[in-house]
Amino acid sequence: MCGIVGAVAARQVSGILLEGLRRLEYRGYDSAGMAVIDQGQIGRVRRVGKVQSLAEALAKHPLTGTLGIAHTRWATHGVPNEVNAHPHMSGERLAVVHNGIIENFESLRDELIGAGYTFSSETDTEVVAHLLDREVSAGKSLREAMRAVIQYLEGAFALGVVHADYPDQLVTARKGSPLVIGVGIGEHFIASDQLALLPVTDRFMFLEDGDIACLTPDSVEVEDGSGQSVDRAVTRFEHGAGSAEKGAFKHFMLKEIYEQPAVMASVMEGRISDGHLLEQAFGVEAKALFDRVRQVQIVACGTSYHAGMIAKYWIEELVGIPCMVEVASEFRYRPVVLPEGTLFLTLSQSGETADTLAALREIRSRVIGTLAICNVPGSSLVRESDLALMTNAGPEIGVASTKAFTSQLVALMLTTLALGRRFGLSDTREREILAAFAQLPALLERLLALDPEIEQMAAQFAEKHNALFLGRGTLFPVALEGALKLKEISYIHAEAYPAGELKHGPLALVDKDMPVVTVAPTNAMLEKLKANMQEVRARGGELFVFAGQDQSLRDEPGINLIRLPSIPIILEPIAYTLPLQLLSYHVAVLKGTDVDQPRNLAKSVTVE
């Protein structure tokens, strides 16, 4: 994921920009660069590799000046090299940094070449630099040029632009990619993440999609998408949000559960434009690889494996190609048969899980390509895979995985859509699904409001020694995940079954001491599930039901029911996970276990 920092001040800015880039390193990148305006000239330094390489280059060739932009690049168009690193320039007087993807860059590039521009990089960003130059050369101000240029751009972007003729103006715009303005005294900043600017300010203004802003040391002027001047509120940074600190929460796990609405937005940010997926987000080689995929093999461990199981339902339904899912510790040690055209997809929060990595290394030469869905940029899995899609969930500290799981599911749906396009999934269906996913942050906020009710329900588990979890369809892996959470942190023995399997064995366990947690949304499987619930009631089992809007399911003796709001079917696995996370959390708190560091478990399992 690329990172942007920019500053316009009365003091030297290169140190501020460099520190900002360091603070964005957690996002993962492959090159870094900086441009600063000094005495009417732009100085630029770029390096492949770490921000430290850029710092060493700057130590030899310092950039002085009070206006500048800087960037860490994660390659999407063109390989990671110095020429493709940002900032990109048009001529000697204009420099641009960009996050996101310009989808129509090829036609824009042809047009600009026709108009006499020469391109030095393979990036989509360079078209923005030349388009801006064309407008400025035609007599527009830098800000007017930005207004004109963003009308041409299709895709997602956050932009920062400087021009040698405007030595005290930093012009910025955003659509679909995050960008924040840092408000100082006699200085202003931009960044793709407020964390980058914390050494210089704690006051931030968040731009909305389509906004343009012009920053000088003393002013910030914002225009909305229609060109109207608007005020955007200035807010103070809430310490602890999104960082490795608990803030007001009692445990990291609870904080991470509550972060999920924001995380849902962050997985999608910069990857969706005008209601459709920007598949370049998967990396430079994505298109060529996806075109050849005929089936998918998913390999992962634990919670990540459960996410993979849900993806199997999605891929086989929406793409219509086979999808196999297996735990890494089994996969790596057996002679697997993989048909031609297999995409090998690993899922991992940490990117360092020994079994998953070993499976990747073992299979790499026998598949057409490898894709890692991962939360840690720069991790081994990301480095060693052909493509990577980061889940952008922020650091997950609680050993029991929560936000990493739901963010993996969003990333898996993006993967499903990228593949689905190649197998007849209509544009309309893709838009419908993405419109549903766009509701996730608000929906998860509503589900969090059920927390007090779930906490009350948890009291009935504290004295139990066993629990069963039931679900059907995509809710079966959700039940597995619910059972895993409960056993991990409360040490209650819990198992999950596809509800139809109940009478094939586990029903023998059901009696009045066996709580049976059921995830029962109102979907095509509900009637079947209700029959399974009857089987439990008939044996005196106590049901704990997370239900949808179906009114025939009611709270009554033997049935403890929590009703969820109406949820689009495609979102059910994500939505129904959240109450199960809260249930385990509250049971564990009641039992007084070490919620964030349960016994015998480690956050990153780097040994087999």
Cβ proximity to ligand F6R, 260 vs 532, nearer residue = 260
Distance CA 467, CA 493 (A): 6
Q: Give the closest residue to 478 by CA, choosing from 395, 415, 546.
A: 546
Cβ proximity to ligand F6R, 425 vs 484, nearer residue = 484
Rounded to the nearest 10 degrees, how much is the dihedral formed by the CA atoms of 538, 543, 546, 547? 30
Walk across the sheet containing 466-471 and list its strands: 493-498, 466-471, 515-520, 542-547, 559-563
Q: How far is the CB of 514 from ligand F6R (least distance, A)?
A: 23
Q: Is 350 in the site for ligand F6R (CB under 6 A)?
A: yes
Q: How far is the CB of 476 from ligand F6R (least distance, A)?
A: 17
Q: How far is the CB of 151 from ligand F6R (least distance, A)?
A: 42
Active-site position among 2, 214, 301, 323: 2
Q: Is 303 in the site for ligand F6R (CB under 6 A)?
A: yes
Q: Is 393 in the site for ligand F6R (CB under 6 A)?
A: no
Give the CA distances from residue 432 to residues 193, 428, 436, 572, in Å, rounded to whole numbers and listed in that order: 29, 6, 6, 15
Active-site position among 140, 246, 464, 603: 603
Q: How far is the CB of 396 from ligand F6R (least distance, A)?
A: 8
Give the CA distances from residue 275 to residues 52, 224, 436, 595, in Å, rounded to whole numbers and listed in that order: 38, 20, 10, 39
Q: What angle do CA 304, 306, 312 make, to 5 degrees?
A: 110
Q: What angle do CA 144, 195, 153 make, to 5 degrees?
A: 30
Distance CA 170, CA 6 (A): 8
374 among known catalytic residues: no
Count of residues touching ligand F6R (by CB under 6 A): 15
Q: Which of 302, 420, 506, 515 binds ligand F6R (CB under 6 A)?
A: 302
Q: Give me the DSSP letters along 342-370.
A: EEEEEEESSS--HHHHHHHHHHGGGSSEE
* The two three-digit tokens of residue 108, written as one number: 């824009």
Q: Is 581 in the site for ligand F6R (CB under 6 A)?
A: no
Q: Give the closest residue to 156 by CA, choosing from 425, 421, 434, 428.
A: 434
**Contacting ligand F6R within 120-139 (CB under 6 A):** none
Q: Is 349 in the site for ligand F6R (CB under 6 A)?
A: yes
Q: Which of 297, 342, 401, 406 binds ligand F6R (CB under 6 A)?
A: 401
Q: Indicate the residue whose CB is closest to ligand F6R.
A: 302
Q: How far is the CB of 467 from ligand F6R (least distance, A)?
A: 16
Q: Is 348 in the site for ligand F6R (CB under 6 A)?
A: yes
301 among known catalytic residues: no
Q: Is 370 in the site for ligand F6R (CB under 6 A)?
A: no
Q: Which of 169, 192, 356, 490 binds ligand F6R (CB under 6 A)?
A: 356
Beta-carbon count within 10 A of 209 CB: 12
Q: Which region among 127-135, 275-283, 301-309, 544-552 touches ligand F6R (by CB under 6 A)?
A: 301-309
Distance CA 388, CA 391 (A): 10
**Which residues are catalytic, by number?**
2, 603
Per CB under 6 A, residues contacting ligand F6R are: 301-304, 348-350, 353, 356, 400-401, 484, 488, 604-605
